[in-house]
Amino acid sequence: ATLPARTGLGSSSSFTVALMKGLAAHRGDSRTSREIAEDACRIEIEALGEPIGKQDQYTAAFGGINVFTFNRSGKTTRRALHLSTNAKRSLEESMVLFYTGTTRNAADVLADQNERVPEHLEHYRELTGLVPVFADALTRGDAETMGALLAKGWKHKRLLGKDVTNPVLDALYESACAAGAYGGKVVGAGGGGCLLFFTPRGQREPIQKVLQEEALRLRLSESRSIPVRIEPEGAQILLNTINSIKK
């Protein structure tokens, strides 16, 4: 993999989904994307006891852009969002994904957040309420609205646990916003890893430069911008010399 681990990008779940997909192919078992996602969830959540959700496994299994609803019954529903070519291009050109050069153990950060859920229910309600509004802006490729919504969500998320943010993350976040980013958030559980921003047209590279300069000031030698592209497909079998698998 070319992406660093423990950065909030779902690398562990992506690996598990790919492993489940590969094992199914080896057995000649043409499992659906939903079945592969649930297989990965059972490994990570039930067998390994990780204090995580199902969003990363489902995203890796299905690919594309989706709204997932995780019901109390344990059932997960999926609504695929279909973007026009222009909206997709606008989305990709407006996003800045910046690796801070710092990593964290998501299980530790999430364990602390899970203990504090009862006292932060209002923040979770506010975050949930942003989803349909964000999905609507997403289908239009409206970077300004998406950035504002991420900024609003980040104000709530940063209060969910003691390790969600820190002075380094705050300094990087503030530098990007001061340079013109519409808004953003720390990706994943928080505590380190990557920051995601939405930027005005033509301002992506200048904002990336500002982030890199701020990272150098903070002596984050491993930091860098990561290219973003929307992947329409989930985990795929690229070569199978053992069995013929139906898609």
Q: Which residue, among 223, 201, 207, 130, has the nearest Cα to 174 in the 3D structure?
A: 207
Helix (H, G, I), strand (E, B) or coil at 61: helix
Label residues 152-170 b or e (16+ Cβ within 10 Å = b). Answer: bbbebbbebbebbbeebbe
Quick check: is 56 catalytic?
A: yes
How far is CA 86 from each of CA 56, 92, 192, rounded to the nearest angstrom? 26, 10, 32
DSSP class of residue 247 equals: -
Tokens of 202: 């033509």
Exposed (0-12), middle (13-18) or buried (19+): which is 51, by Cβ within 10 Å? middle
What's the CA gap between 189 and 163, in Å, rounded?
9
**Whether 220 contacts 234, CB under 8 Å:** no
- Catalytically annotated residue among 39, 56, 112, 163: 56
Q: Provide the β-strand partners of residue 66.
A: 80
Angle (CA) 222 231 177, round 5°: 50
H helix or E strand, kind and range, residue 26: helix 11-27
| Active-site amino acid positions | 56
